[in-house]
Copies of this chain bind each other. A is one copy, B any other.
């Protein structure tokens, strides 16, 4: 059970549950982006499905709770890379690996980067991203 910065080790790995993406999901998400961007902006070549994948992958990462009760990201996200398209009825899951652990010199916490990779049902990597979290140190 991971709860503190001190519970994490470099190379530690996580794995999420799976998420099936339906044709309806993809259409709804694209439609919503279209609406949110206001009436004067028809949907253009924006890779909406890329942001859809990003949102689903972040949700799967949050659900994996690699930091126990602490939030998964606090500073931002680095290196979003879309590697292959996500098609209707694909099912994705993500795996994460701790790639940076930097204890703060001044506060009882540390910075943690986990590189997550999303795979489809054929095991093909479709997307990666690296959120940057701040995790408290174990109280003395």
Contacts and interface: CB of A to CB of B under 8 A. Distances in A.
A41 interface: yes
A62 B77 contact: no
Interface in A42-71: 44-47, 51-52, 54-56, 58-60, 62-63, 71
Interface string A12-29: 000000011000010011
A89 interface: no
Nearest to A44: B62
B81 A80 contact: no
Interface of A: 19-20, 25, 28-29, 32-33, 35-38, 41, 44-47, 51-52, 54-56, 58-60, 62-63, 71, 73, 75-82
Given A41-B59, A46-B59, A76-B81, 15 more contacts: A19-B37, A25-B35, A28-B35, A33-B55, A36-B55, A37-B56, A37-B60, A41-B63, A44-B62, A46-B58, A47-B73, A51-B51, A51-B54, A51-B55, A78-B78
